[in-house]
């Protein structure tokens, strides 16, 4: 038996035993999305009443674990870097706290001790012959947390791909490990309808051959992907690797040949998709998974010419401020990487920062283009950073434009039923 195999055997235990590395008052850092370790978090949930003051910090949980029980929050409490469907209700009820930050800067906040990281729980690939595991599904802020943590506890699963990039941890860094073999959670493509296709058509017209792409999650971004399959020499430098990007690779549209940095490589910081996507990642020489301070850094991402960042919002005001993460004061998601990539695209030679939004909500009864954001709304993309806003009615290019010009451009792409009312409001505000 090799030295690495001996260390593995010595550290192997049940999930119930592995979580005993957590102490009262600790903060456990868990990776984004499917990078979370189900067996460890289930064991923590089952034993939650045995702890006091433990906190779990994570972006985008995908499973609803029992530790989210509000009645046991004083034992184990969630602290969100970003809300998902399973944590949003608790966030809106004030039971789950929110930590605002640019996604790209979370590793720095962890290294500085401003975001605590006492223990890391993460899923990992099987160990290779050199004693390394791959945290391919989400190296994000987890690699920084590993540097700071007192204990790193991993859940080894043969369904986790061994990806290239800065996403590896050595057996010598691991305090304890357990094993599981459950399938990695899959997240399907959102539904695409005529509205999404209409918006996607405008976006696709703005993207030239040779562009480097950052594509967020959602029906509109995935509709955009379907209209890019005939493009040539596209590159990818993104935060989320999903099935939409996989479709572009399979179609031959993505080869990363014109990128200025990481030429020939698709770059991402977390994966969220299908089993086929996870298999595609395994030892793929054309893909690298990196921490978010690399993938989302505006300077690094923006060093690629023609970076086109495509993200979604929920509300846009007359100055172009985008409220993408809350409904008024009620949290809905989080800042994530939108602001990172808007700034990156603005830095890029030939880049475009594109924000997509349906013109209305609630069956065409509410305009998403508004004079001012709903009171309490968290501003995600500022008036100084916003560039393109696209609805199903057209394109408003705002960067470099005056307040009056912005207002007129946005009203022109609002739903026709609301344009007269919006013009009247603009006149009252001195913007028309």
DSSP 280-343: HHTT-TTEEE--HHHHS-HHHHTTSTTEEEEEE-SEEETT--EE-SEETTEE-S--TTHHHHHH
Question: CB under 8 Å to 81, separation ≥6 — which residues?
Answer: 57, 58, 59, 99, 101, 103, 106, 141, 334
Residue 370, beta-bridge partner list: 317
Q: How many Å apart are CA 158 and CA 152, to the nearest integer? A: 19
pLDDT of residue 359: 98
Q: Could you tell me the two tokens for 277?
A: 């996507």
Q: Could you tell me the two tokens for 310?
A: 């495509």
Q: Could you tell me the two tokens for 194?
A: 């005529």
CA angle 153, 157, 163 (to 5 degrees): 95
Are 314 and 353 spatial neighbours (Cβ–Cβ below 8 Å)? no
pLDDT of residue 67: 97
Query: Hey, what's the torsion of the CAs at 386, 324, 224, 396, to 10 degrees?
Result: -40
Q: Which of 73, 103, 141, 99 is nearest to 331 (CA)?
A: 99
CA angle 268, 340, 106 (to 5 degrees): 75
234 φ, ψ to 5°?
Answer: -75, 155
Are 237 and 212 spatial neighbours (Cβ–Cβ below 8 Å)? yes
Question: CB under 8 Å to 98, separation ≥6 — which residues?
Answer: 79, 80, 83, 91, 331, 334
CA angle 155, 156, 158 (to 5 degrees): 140
pLDDT of residue 233: 98
| Tokens 């184990």 -> residue | 76
Are 47 and 19 spatial neighbours (Cβ–Cβ below 8 Å)? yes
Question: CB under 8 Å to 219, separation ≥6 — which residues?
Answer: 190, 191, 192, 193, 196
Are 307 and 330 spatial neighbours (Cβ–Cβ below 8 Å)? no
For the entire predicted model, the pTM comes to 0.96
Q: How many Å apart are CA 41 and CA 48, to the nearest integer? A: 10
CATH architecture for residues 194-429: 3-Layer(aba) Sandwich (3.40)
Three-class secondary structure of residue 403 per DSSP: helix
288 counts as catalytic: no
Q: How many Å apart are CA 91 and CA 82, to the nearest integer? A: 10
pLDDT (tens place) for every residue of the chain, 432 residues total: 689 999 999 999 999 999 999 999 999 999 999 999 999 999 999 999 999 999 999 999 999 999 999 999 999 999 999 999 999 999 999 999 999 999 999 999 999 999 999 999 999 999 999 999 999 999 999 999 999 999 999 999 999 999 999 999 999 999 999 999 999 999 877 778 899 999 999 999 999 999 999 997 777 888 888 899 999 999 999 999 999 999 999 999 999 999 999 999 999 999 999 999 999 999 999 999 999 999 999 999 999 999 999 999 999 999 999 999 999 999 999 999 999 999 999 999 999 999 999 999 999 999 999 999 999 999 999 999 999 999 999 999 999 999 999 999 999 999 999 999 999 999 999 998
Q: Which of 335, 259, 264 is nearest to 301 (CA)?
A: 259
Q: Does domain 3-179 have CATH number 3.40.1080.10?
A: yes
Q: How many Å apart are CA 171 and CA 154, to the nearest integer? A: 10
Q: Which of 155, 239, 288, 392 is catalytic?
A: 239
Three-class secondary structure of residue 66 per DSSP: helix
Asked whether the domain spanning 194-429 has the same topology as the one spanning 3-179, the reply is yes
């Amino acid at each position: 038996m090799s030295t690495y195999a001996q260390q593995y055997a010595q550290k192997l235990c049940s999930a119930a035993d592995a979580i005993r590395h957590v102490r009262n008052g600790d903060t456990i850092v868990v990776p984004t999305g499917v990078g979370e370790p189900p067996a460890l978090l289930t064991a923590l949930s089952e034993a939650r009443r045995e702890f006091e003051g433990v906190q779990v910090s994570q972006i985008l949980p995908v499973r609803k674990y029992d530790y989210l029980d509000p009645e046991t929050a004083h034992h184990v409490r969630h602290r969100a870097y970003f809300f998902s469907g399973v944590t949003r209700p608790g966030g809106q009820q004030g039971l789950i706290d929110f930590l605002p930050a640019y996604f790209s800067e979370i590793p720095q906040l962890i290294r500085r001790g401003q975001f605590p990281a006492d223990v890391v729980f993460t899923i990992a690939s099987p160990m290779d012959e050199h004693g390394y595991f791959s945290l391919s599904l989400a190296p994000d802020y987890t690699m920084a947390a590993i540097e700071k943590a007192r204990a790193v506890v991993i859940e080894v699963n043969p369904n986790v791909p061994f990806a290239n990039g800065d996403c590896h941890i050595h057996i010598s860094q691991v305090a304890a490990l357990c094993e599981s073999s459950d399938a990695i959670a899959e997240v399907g493509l959102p539904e695409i309808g005529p509205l999404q296709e209409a918006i996607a058509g405008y976006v696709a017209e703005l993207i030239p051959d040779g562009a480097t792409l950052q594509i967020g999650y959602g029906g509109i971004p995935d509709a955009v992907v379907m209209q890019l399959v005939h493009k040539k020499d596209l590159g990818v430098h993104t935060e989320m690797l999903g099935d939409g990007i996989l479709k572009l690779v399979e179609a031959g549209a993505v080869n990363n040949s014109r990128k200025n940095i990481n030429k020939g490589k698709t770059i991402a910081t977390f994966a969220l998709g299908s089993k086929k996507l996870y298999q595609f990642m395994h030892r793929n020489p054309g893909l690298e998974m990196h921490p978010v301070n690399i993938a989302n850094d505006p300077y690094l991402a923006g060093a690629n010419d023609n970076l086109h960042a495509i993200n979604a919002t929920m509300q846009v005001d007359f100055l172009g401020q985008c409220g993408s993460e809350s409904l008024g004061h009620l949290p809905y998601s989080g800042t994530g990487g939108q602001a990172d990539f808007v700034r990156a695209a603005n830095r890029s030679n030939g880049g475009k920062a594109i924000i997509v939004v349906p013109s209305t909500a609630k069956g065409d009864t509410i305009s998403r283009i508004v004079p001012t954001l709903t009171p309490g709304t968290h501003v995600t993309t500022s008036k100084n950073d916003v560039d393109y806003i696209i609805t199903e009615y057209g394109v408003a290019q705002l960067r470099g434009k005056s307040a009056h010009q912005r207002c007129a451009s946005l009203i022109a792409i609002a739903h026709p039923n609301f344009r007269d009312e919006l013009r009247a409001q603009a006149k009252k505000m001195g913007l028309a």
